[in-house]
Amino acid sequence: MNQSFRRAAVGIPGFCAFFNLYGPQSLLPSLAREFDATPAQISLTVTATTLAIALSAPFAGAIADVLGRKRVIAAAMVLATIPLIMIGFAPSLHALVFWRFVLGLALPPIFTVVVSYIGEEWPPAQAMGVMGVYMAATSVGGFAGRLVSGLLADLVGWRAGFLVIAAMTLACGLVVAVVLPRERNFTRSEGIAESARQMLGHLRNPQLLATYAVGFGTLFNFIALFTYVNFVLAAPPFNLSPTLLGSIFVTYLAGATAVLGLGRAIARFGRRPLVIGSIGLWATGAALTLVPSLPVIIAGLAVAACGGFIVQATSTGYVALTAESGRTSAVGLYATSYYIGGSVGAVLPGLTWSIGGWQGCVAMVIAMQAVMVVVVGVFWRR
What local confidence, expressed as pLDDT, does residue 199 receive? 66
Q: Which residues contact 229 (CB under 8 A, 6 or more apart)?
A: 248, 289, 297, 301, 358
pLDDT band at 187 (very low <50, low <70, confident <90, very high): low
Q: For residue 206, is the peptide bond before it cis, meaning its omega torsion is within 30 degrees of 0?
A: no
What local confidence, expressed as pLDDT, does residue 189 receive? 62
In CATH, the number for domain 3-379 is 1.20.1250.20
- Asked whether the whole model's pTM tops 0.85, one would answer no
Q: Check if the beta carbon of residue 283 is closer than 8 Å to that of residue 369.
A: yes
What local confidence, expressed as pLDDT, does residue 300 receive? 95
Average pLDDT over residues 38-53: 83
Q: Which residues contact 32 (CB under 8 A, 6 or more apart)?
A: 38, 39, 41, 42
What local confidence, expressed as pLDDT, does residue 276 receive? 94
Q: What is the pLDDT of residues 235-249, one digit of tens each?
A: 888 888 877 877 777
Task: Break the chain into its structural domains and give their ranges.
Answer: 3-379
Indicate whether 268 pLDDT > 80: yes
Burial of 87 from C-beta contacts in 10 A (0-12 / 13-18 / 19+): buried
Q: Check if the beta carbon of residue 227 is closer than 8 Å to that of residue 348.
A: no
Mean model confidence pLDDT for the chain: 84
Indicate whether 331 pLDDT > 80: no
Indicate whether 72 pLDDT > 60: yes
Distance CA 116, CA 360 (A): 37
What local confidence, expressed as pLDDT, does residue 259 receive? 78
Buried b (16+ CB within 10 A) or exposed e, 203-230: eebeebebbbbbbbbbbbbbbbbbbbbb
Indicate whether 264 pLDDT > 90: no
Distance CA 141, CA 145 (A): 6
- ∠ CA 363-364-367, nearest 5°, is 85
Q: What is the pLDDT of residues 108-134, one digit of tens each?
A: 888 778 877 787 777 776 777 787 788
Q: What percent of the chain has pLDDT over 70?
A: 89
Strand (E) or helix (H) holding 370:
helix 327-379
pLDDT band at 4 (very low <50, low <70, confident <90, very high): low
What local confidence, expressed as pLDDT, does residue 323 receive? 64
- ∠ CA 111-17-368, nearest 5°, is 75
Chain centre distance of CA 294: 25
Q: What percent of the chain has pLDDT over 90?
A: 28
Q: Report how far apart the first and last C-alpha atoms of the chain are (Å, whole number).
A: 37
Q: Check if the beta carbon of residue 361 is closer than 8 Å to that of residue 224.
A: yes
Indicate whether 149 pLDDT > 60: yes
Distance CA 201, CA 154 (A): 49
Q: Which of 61-70, 88-97, 262-271, 277-286 has the lowest mean pLDDT?
A: 61-70
What local confidence, expressed as pLDDT, does residue 362 receive? 94
What local confidence, expressed as pLDDT, does residue 192 receive? 61
CB atoms inside a 10 Å sphere around CB 124: 10
CB atoms inside a 10 Å sphere around CB 267: 12
Distance CA 279, CA 274 (A): 9
Distance CA 51, CA 54 (A): 5
Average pLDDT over residues 257-273: 82
pLDDT band at 333 (very low <50, low <70, confident <90, very high): confident
What local confidence, expressed as pLDDT, does residue 378 receive? 86
Higher per-residue confidence, 77 vs 333: 77
What local confidence, expressed as pLDDT, does residue 185 receive? 67
Indicate whether 270 pLDDT > 90: no
Higher per-residue confidence, 7 vs 233: 233
Indicate whether 1 pLDDT > 60: no
Higher per-residue confidence, 278 vs 53: 278
What local confidence, expressed as pLDDT, does residue 278 receive? 94
Indicate whether 164 pLDDT > 80: yes
Q: Which of 31-40, 200-209, 309-318 has the lowest mean pLDDT?
A: 200-209
Indicate whether 2 pLDDT > 60: no
Indicate whether 220 pLDDT > 80: yes
Indicate whether 228 pLDDT > 70: yes
Higher per-residue confidence, 200 vs 91: 91
Higher per-residue confidence, 57 vs 309: 309
Q: Which of 140-144, 187-191, 359-363 has the lowest mean pLDDT?
A: 187-191
What local confidence, expressed as pLDDT, does residue 303 receive? 95
